[in-house]
Amino acid sequence: NRDSCRVLVTGGAGFIGSNFVQYWCDRHPEDRIVVLDALTYAGNLANLQPVKDRPQFRFVQGDIGDRPLIDQLLAEESIDTVAHFAAESHVDRSILGPGAFVQTNVVGTFTLLEAFRQHYPTLSDEKGLFLHVSTDEVYGSLGPSDRAFQETTPYAPNSPYSASKAGSDHLVRAYYHTYNLPTIITNCSNNYGPYQFPEKLIPLMTINTLIGKNLPVYGDGQNIRDWLYVIDHCSALDAVIHKGKPGETYNVGGNNEVKNIDLVTILCDLMDELAPQLPVRPCRNLITFVKDRLGHDRRYAIDSTKIQTELGWQPSVTVEEGLRQTLKWYLDRQDWWQPLLSQEYQDYYRQVYEG
């Protein structure tokens, strides 16, 4: 019975994890939420500011690969639900340095699974869930007229990031079949919304319009992605935690396929409308095509019929509405993003976009 949960949220100081923690504390004030996060470059305690004083909430800084720490947390907090977000999550960084992706995404997930396998028998009947939050990128790239990814689509990852996520998905699946551990995998499309680190497409373009920098679009800009507002992802995970079936996989998407160049153009027009003072207007003048990403997948599209029909989940906002809210958030929260444009970030940026 998952009426009330004691949840370990790994990666809860990152983008989706912190939105999930805020969402969960608001919706389920009776639940315990313990965040474990290593606070890598992508983790940020400011993301948890809104919940940090809630009695139900605790933050622990640490690595998912630290087995003694995980064992201790699972036991002392009587954790029954693991919501596993912690990962190296950026494709461009995985091309520059794949090692950390294998370490955290594969070995780290393995360590968590082992710890949960040992802890699981201490839980009362009907309790226990290991929710593994993954990506649609594990399915590879689609042609223009191919069917959208279904839960049965074979895995064909093309980047070190997606390959490492695929590896972790396979381990999670195997722990259900081999050890009967109650695991569920969700594969979600591109998220956007508040608290997303500046390196990702939407915050990158938004912040660049605010500081008058070029908007670097890879290749011919015709790559297609499906976009989901992060709060809709959180509500999907809520449905999965409360109603999902162990051993299953659920695809989560927004049914919003957009070409990168179209997305950037919509974003530019919205910024022209929303931001009173911009260094360069119209923002479209900042669009610059740059050398394509290595191995750049052409198209992702996701079929979320299963979660919609079996668990009754629906996305709540359109891309236009979600984008508008997101851009307003970045306009209001310069105090949040300005400190993230560090020297390390500038060095990374030059390497990726300026060769």
Candidates 23, 24, 57, 85: give the one binding ligand NAD (CB under 6 A).
Answer: 85
Which of 63, 88, 137, 303 does the annotation list as catalytic? 137
> Are the C-beta atoms of residues 59 and 48 closer than 8 Å to each other?
yes
Question: For residues 96 and 214, what is the distance between their CA atoms, to the nearest angstrom?
Answer: 22
Q: What is the spatial distance between Cα 209 and Cα 97, in angstroms, rounded to a whole number? A: 28
**Structure-token match 């082992």, residue found:** 114
Q: Is 89 in the site for ligand NAD (CB under 6 A)?
A: yes
Task: Return the range that interacts with ligand NAD (CB under 6 A); candidates 127-135, 256-264, 284-292, 304-312.
Answer: 127-135
Size of the site for ligand NAD (CB under 6 A): 31
**Nearest approach, Cβ of residue 108 and ligand NAD (Å):** 5
Active site residue 262: no
Closest CA to 79 of 5, 22, 18, 182: 5
Active site residue: 23, 120, 139, 161, which one?
161
Q: Which of 5, 21, 22, 43 binds ligand NAD (CB under 6 A)?
A: 43
Specify whether the CB–CB gap between 1 and 28 falls below 8 A: no
* The three-state (H, E, C) secondary structure of 126-184, written as one string: CCCEEEEEEEHHHHCCCCCCCCCECCCCCCCCCCHHHHHHHHHHHHHHHHHHHHCCCEE
Interface pick for ligand NAD out of 7, 34, 79, 86 (rule CB under 6 A): 86
Beta strand 215-218 pairing with 224-229: unpaired
238 has catalytic annotation:
no
What secondary structure does DSSP assign to 10-58, as a single string? ETTTSHHHHHHHHHHHHH-TTSEEEEEE---TT--GGGGGGGTT-TTEE
**What percent of the residues of the chain are helix, what percent strand, and what percent coil, each to the nearest 5?**
45, 15, 35
Please state the closest distance from residue 44 (CB atom) to ligand NAD, in A. 7
Query: What residues numbered 182-211 form the site for ligand NAD, per CB under 6 A?
Result: 188, 190-191, 197
- The count of other CB atoms within 10 Å of the CB of residue 285 is 11
Within positions 90 to 119, which residues make up the interface with ligand NAD, using CB under 6 A? Answer: 104, 108
Choose, by CB under 6 A, the member of 5, 8, 9, 11 that binds ligand NAD: 11
State which of residues 64, 95, 113, 286 lies at the interface with ligand NAD (CB under 6 A): 64
CB of 117 to ligand NAD, least distance (A): 19
Structure tokens at 317: 């906002």
How far apart (Å, rounded) are the C-alpha atoms in residues 319 and 316? Answer: 10
Binding mask 137-166 vs ligand NAD (x if CB under 6 A, - otherwise)? ----------------------------x-
The verdict on whether 41 is a catalytic residue reads: no
Stretch that binds ligand NAD, among 83-91, 140-148, 283-291, 307-315 (CB under 6 A): 83-91
The catalytic residues are 136-137, 161
Residues forming the site for ligand NAD (CB under 6 A): 10-11, 13-17, 37-40, 42-43, 63-65, 85-89, 104, 108, 133-135, 165, 188, 190-191, 197
